[in-house]
Chain A
Amino acid sequence: MIQFLLRRLLLTIPVLLGLTALVFVIARLLPGDPVALAAGPNATAADIAAYAREFGMDRPLWVQYLSYLGGLLRGDFGVSIFTRRPVIEDLAAYLPATLELVVAAMTLAMLVGIPAGLWAAAQRDRWPDYLSRVVALGAISMPRFFLGLVLQLVFAMAMGWLPLGGRFPITEDLPLRVTGFLTLDALIAGDGHAFKVACQHLLMPALAMSLSPLATLMRMMRASTLEVLQQDYVLTERALGLPQRLILLKYVARNAVSSTLTVTGLYFGWLLGGTVLVETIFDWPGLGLYATKAVVTQDFMPIIGVTLVIGTLFVAANLVIDLLYGVINPKVRQP
């Protein structure tokens, strides 16, 4: 087990290094000259040179790269050329918001997808099963931004049941920051009202994000449950008199975990990368919007910082998922 863990970790490092190098080179090669732009329209050549010196952009590329790596080890992700704010501050502000959204979306997907998949399996080949297939395909086909828009239209604009956007009512004070997840922080602080309000704001964006993983999870649960029900060891245990429910529970639970892990692995990157679509609609102050702005203004440091963070999260998530696979299914552990 330790061996497995160590091997994977060791493999991760060159991947991440490669990622930084790749992104660094791409970012530096992008057309446009952000230094000149940031220096402003009134800048003289001397001003621009001073700016370049300030940001260390007058040194050769490999020196800049090494200096960047060194900075990373210190926790310094560089400074955004336009806002002149350290990237790490921005990341610390925006990352938890996006993560909370992604986690909430996956949670919703599990809460609805798993029971729905079970039910579809139980109703195999009858019309509810058929319907579930249509619904699943429909859910995957629905653009997140369109769904978010429709949800907002119906529940916020027309009915007024849920807030229009944002994470929290602005006149109220946020719960004390521990994790950056407003829901968790509210729970930790024991503040029921804050928790409820945070959930209200989280519901629609999470719902819009959750539909695709939900549908996939449902179909996977259905497929694996059907497979389980036909297995010999299940028939044997039934013949021995064990109640159907317990059997189902034992194997289905394991399948549920396994399917969830697979879907999480599949969708984590997709969710992280696509939050911008939903963040735009619900004014959610997350990484997606930040990253998009950086990309559009060709602000190197935020682009590299965000890519690094997302890449690391992705690699870490995959590592954890592989580990968990190893736990629930020992066969996988053999290298």
Chain B
Amino acid sequence: MRPNHPTEVSRRQVLGAAGASLASLVMPSQAFAQQGGRRVLVIAATQDIPNFDPHIATGYSASFLLRNVYDSLVRVEGNPPKPVPSLGSSWTATPDGRSYTFKLNTLAKFQNGKAVTADDVVYSFKRAIRLNKGNAWMIQGVVGPDSVTAVDASTVRFNLLKPFAAFLQVLPWIWVVSKSDVEANAGADDGQAYLRTQVAGSGAFKVRRAEAGNLYEIERVADSWHKGGGNLTGVIWRIVRETASQRLLMQRGEAHIAVDLTSEDMDALKDKPGVVRVIEPEYRTFSIKLNTRNGPMADLDLRKAVSYATNYKGILDAAGYADLMIGPLPSGILGHNPQLAAYRTDMAKAKEHLAKSKYPNGGIKLTFVYVTGLEQQRRFGLVMLDSLKQLNIELDIKPMIWPDMVAACASPQTFPDLFPVYQTANYGDPDNIAFAAYHSSRNGNWQNAVYANPEVDALIERGRTEADEGKRVAIYRDMQQKVMADAPDIFGVLEKRKLALRDNVKGFSFVPVASNAIECFGLSLS
């Protein structure tokens, strides 16, 4: 009888242990559970937050962080959006729109304990203007370094360089920092290195942890001057690069809000239990800028031919939840003309205009660039390729990185023939898009690289400073007409804002401006 060889027993044991551990590894993942008494809202997004400086950072991810850890004079609320008090508890304006006086909320204090004073407000605006980055463009030419003054500790006055109808609408995006904190850490670069990773704000939340490229966690400040609000103890902004993953996290309840979902994702979520879909129109245009100053597209008839040849149905299909643009301004915004005769697919008219152009038989090759990885732009490119085939025009589709695309905007010679852009209205005023996308002062920038029409410029400038709403509407109608006649863009779609929320998220209300930069103070988890 052979004695039991020790190796035999151990082999079975090993196999058994292996099997058991493998089984335990694949136990169904626990349903999403909160630890202790914490109520942490999880937002899934694709964008990182590399910089916390309120006067430098841009993008919806930065806006999310900034609007929760900082405050500004007013906040934006409602649909249509209206300014409501924040640090400024009340304000008055002179009838000519040149001077605004704000009374500050005396209860407001920073997270460092100090009260928010007029000095802090003045300092913040001056710093924003000095650095001239981030959202400074919104007040450019309107608020100068000497325009902001502290009348007393809790009163701030703005003497604007020119009247600006949308002034109250842009204030939510200029945040107030603690002058003492920033000055103490100013260093050689005006506090940029300090504020890149540190927060000197007065918001209801403060940063708990920041893992670049992975997640950012903010938590409620214990004795904040913000009273009331929802029951959240904290919020996590989780970077999930794939929108399909965001969708699946939503279904499993591992994320409460997903902000970057595509139309296909929204369809997939249609009847899933526990998920609420928010699909709302927003002031966000998606169009293709054409090179009106150099190359074949400088020819007006060619531009019109392409405008009529474009397969708008294809763009709409590929965009999913969207509406076709009617002209250069987003539908629903003040001054938009819904009766405008938009370009729609009409091959007869297209060929007619082509015949009148310098290339009556087509036979040319145009270049379309797009941001690598941006799926909607790629689809737009494919639609254009297909449409242009009908005019016997070839399209070269080039993926590029955004910085290279921005660099190409520097001059008409480097600018490509077709250049897709998203223009988002940061504030609910037609001036936002009109100025950024059609005023010649923006030439050389990605928002309006080459288009310049002095008549349109004049109209835009008048619209900015005109106080009477009725007159403004007339001015913008005129402007839209003239822009349409120039056909400087292929006007595409207004993508609807697509958000998904778990049904246990309470207190959310949709605002058609920066709705993916979730404001968390009023939210609760039930």
Contacts and interface: CB of A to CB of B under 8 A. Distances in A.
- A–B direct contact (CB < 8 Å): yes
A290 B35 CA distance: 31
B252 A160 contact: yes
Interface string A166-182: 10011110000000000
B267 to A, nearest CB: 16
A242 to B, nearest CB: 14
Nearest to A32: B404
A197 B523 CA distance: 29
Contacts of B27: 161
Nearest to B132: A42
B245 A283 contact: yes
B70 to A, nearest CB: 20
B51 A84 contact: yes
A45 to B, nearest CB: 12
Contacts of A164: 245, 248-249, 252, 254
Interface string B284-310: 000000000000000000000000000
A129 interface: no
Interface stretch (B111-119, B166-174, B233-241, B355-363): B233-241
A130 B268 CA distance: 44
A37 B35 contact: no
A40 B215 contact: no
Contact of A160 (B28, B240, B404): B28
A297 B252 contact: no
B211 A93 contact: yes
Interface in B24-72: 24-29, 32, 34-35, 38, 40, 42, 50-51
Interface in A34-51: 34, 36-38, 40-42
Contacts of B242: 283
Contacts of B79: none
A90 B212 contact: yes
Given A157-B248, A164-B248, A285-B214, A170 B236 contact: yes
A7 interface: no
B134 to A, nearest CB: 10
Interface in A52-97: 82-85, 90, 93-94
Given A36-B407, A84-B196, A200 B236 contact: no
Interface string B439-470: 00000111000000000000000000000000
Given A93-B212, A161-B28, A41 B372 contact: no
B212 A283 contact: no
Given A83-B50, A171-B236, A160 B29 contact: yes
Size class of the B contact interface (CB-based, 8 Å): 35 or more
Contacts of A203: 25
B273 interface: no
Contacts of A213: none
A90 B211 CA distance: 10
A165 B50 contact: no
Contact of B446 (A41, A85, A199): A41
Contacts of B270: none
A296 B40 contact: no
A245 B7 contact: yes
B77 to A, nearest CB: 29
Contacts of B221: none
A275 B411 CA distance: 40
Contact of B241 (A37, A156, A172, A283): A283
A163 interface: yes
A33 interface: yes
Interface string B396-423: 0000010110110100000000000000
20 contacts: A33-B407, A36-B407, A37-B406, A41-B406, A83-B212, A85-B212, A90-B212, A93-B211, A93-B213, A160-B29, A161-B29, A169-B254, A171-B38, A171-B40, A171-B42, A171-B236, A203-B25, A283-B241, A285-B214, A296-B372
